Every structure is written in C-alpha cells, then in structure tokens.
Amino acid sequence: MIRVAILGYGNIGRAAEAAINAAPDMELAGIYHHNDSLEDMQADVALVCTPTREVEQYATRVIEKGICTVDSFDVHTQIYALRQSLTILNQVNRAVSIVSAGWDPGSDSVVRALLLAMAPKGITYTNFGPGRSMGHTVAAKAIAGVKDALSMTIPLGTGVHRRMVYVELEEGANAAEVEALLLKDDYFAHDDTHMIVVDSVENLNNVAHGVNLVREGVSGDTHNQRFSFNMTINNPALTGQIMVSCARAAVRMQREGRYGAYTMIEIPPIYLLPGDEETLIRSLV
C-alpha cells in the first residue's frame, strides 16, 4: 500500500482524501493542517494542497525528509522555475515530485502535448468554463467597496473569455464607482467584463467547471485534421483525483531511481493507474 499524506485541508485536500479512500492501492498517512509540525510524517508521498504561493515552501520541507510530493501549482509562468528548483532538491534527497498536477496545468497539458504530436502544425485553443476563476475572484474581492465577489469565466471560443463578475457591495458603496475600478483592474481590463450586483454571492457558489480544448492542424502535409477535448467537471474533485493518481507515479519513479521533479507531460500515462501492466495494456490499448 502506498502511504499518502495530505498537507492542507481545504476543498482540494478534502477531495484528495476521498480519492485516496477510493484507491485500491493507497492508505491515508495523515492530514496536516496549516501550522502542524511535519516532524512525525511517515509517508511515501505527500499531496501539497496548500494555496499555490505556499507550495514550494511546504514541498521543500517534505522532500527534505526523503518523501515524494505532488502539487497542483497553477501559475503557468512559474511552473518551469518550480520544477527546476524541486528537481535539484529531489536529486539530493532521492525523492520525486510531480508539479502542477491538476487539470490545467495538468491533464489539459497532456492533451495539448498529444495533439501537437498528432498534428505538429496548427493552432490549439483552450477554452475554459463556464466556471469560477479563483484568480479573478480574488482580484475582484480586493476592489474597494466589494464585500464579496465571484468571477465566472465564460468561453467565447478561440481562447477568448468573458468575465461575469457577481459582487456583493459593502454598506454605502457606489456600484458605478466599484464597476469603474473593476474594469480598469489588470485582471479584467483586457476581457469583456460584466459586473452584476447581487444580494448574496454565497448563494451563487458552484464548483463546476469546464474545458473545450480545440486543435485544428496538419499531420504530415495533410490539413484539416480536427480534434477537441471537452469536459464538465466538479473542479476540486478532479484536481484532488489527479493529484492522487500522480502520487502513484511519483512513488513508482522514486523506486526506479528517477529522482527529480516532473510535469505531467513527462510521465508515462500508465504510471498514473493502479493494477498490473498486462491488465492495463490489454484493457486500454
């Protein structure tokens, strides 16, 4: 049995716990909250389910104990740097980290890589939503006069998105002033953004999300090759599940002595799955 610890117990941590409990080859090796000591951690792999900005710090503490990590670090522009710094740390401590193991970055990245191999020339569009954007929601909440907010991402196709921002105003705040601040915020200034004042943001909350990933391209010298990948999902449930599947890959790669940090496009897909190789190949290939 693979012993899997959870660090951070928000939406993703709870979803990961359910995925560990459902896995035939894993057992829960403890749940660690924000300020817990990691001194007693006895695990093969830890899922770092903290906010993205705390991932590296927590992962470092775990890896220094020789324990593998999986995170769903989601700032696309900083993924490579995280992978590089964790690579060195893992090589020193003989462990393996899978970084950015969610659905985007994560499984969508695998689909993008596969489609590029299938049609090397062409354009890939990743259309997100409808679903809540965490980054945009946090940005909207930071606007003066906003008591609570929810920013929904609406796909308009070809990678263009509309932002539907539902806001609960603070007592005495002026809706027009809040809207003016919102529309010039860098998170919203470049997209078609609509602000809607509501009585309760809490009542609108829904963790559903979606993706429509499209590629139209060329295989060899043949044009008009068309591909799409679609999903409508519970966001934390999928993220937690993918982290758990990647935990399996991390432990296997550690056993093979392939110490370092990897993104999902660097992992053989079969490593994500429980069960013996022959059964998996016979049923999936």
Which residues are near a copy of itself by CB under 8 A?
A: 15-19, 21-23, 76, 79-80, 83, 100, 103, 105, 107, 109-114, 116-121, 218-222, 224-234, 237-238, 240-242, 244-245, 263-270, 272-274, 278, 280-282, 284-285
Q: What is the nearest approach in angstroms of a copy of itself to the Cβ of residue 57?
A: 21
**Residue 90 amino acid letter:** N
Q: SS3 for 119?
A: coil
Q: What is the nearest approach in angstroms of a copy of itself to the Cβ of residue 38?
A: 24
Nearer to a copy of itself (CB atom), residue 94 or residue 121: 121
Q: What is the nearest approach in angstroms of a copy of itself to the Cβ of residue 66?
A: 24
Residue 27 β-bridge partners? 3
Nearer to a copy of itself (CB atom), residue 159 or residue 269: 269
Are 49 and 7 a contacting pair, CB within 8 Å? yes
Q: What is the nearest approach in angstroms of a copy of itself to the Cβ of residue 83?
A: 7
Q: What is the nearest approach in angstroms of a copy of itself to the Cβ of residue 42?
A: 23
- Residues 67, 261, 106, 188, CA torsion sign: positive
CA–CA dist 118, 80 (Å, integer): 24
Between β-strands 45-48 and 146-157, what pairing exists: parallel, antiparallel or unpaired?
Answer: unpaired
Q: What is the nearest approach in angstroms of a copy of itself to the Cβ of residue 131?
A: 13
Nearer to a copy of itself (CB atom), residue 183 or residue 231: 231
Residues 86-100, buried b or exposed e (16+ Cβ, 10 A)? bbebbeebebbbbbb
Q: What is the nearest approach in angstroms of a copy of itself to the Cβ of residue 244?
A: 8
CA–CA dist 134, 101 (Å, integer): 17
Structure tokens at 196: 């809607």
CA–CA dist 1, 213 (Å, integer): 36
**Residue 202 amino acid letter:** E
For residues 216, 237, 239, 18, the Cα torsion angle rounded to the nearest 10 degrees is -140
Nearer to a copy of itself (CB atom), residue 85 or residue 234: 234
Nearer to a copy of itself (CB atom), residue 66 or residue 274: 274
Nearer to a copy of itself (CB atom), residue 184 or residue 282: 282
Q: What is the nearest approach in angstroms of a copy of itself to the Cβ of residue 208?
A: 9
Nearer to a copy of itself (CB atom), residue 89 or residue 99: 99
How far out from the chain centre does Cα 58 lie? 17
Nearer to a copy of itself (CB atom), residue 87 or residue 194: 87
Angle at 261 between CA 257 and CA 266, to 5 degrees: 90
- Residue closest to 73 by CA, chosen among 24, 115, 109, 119: 109
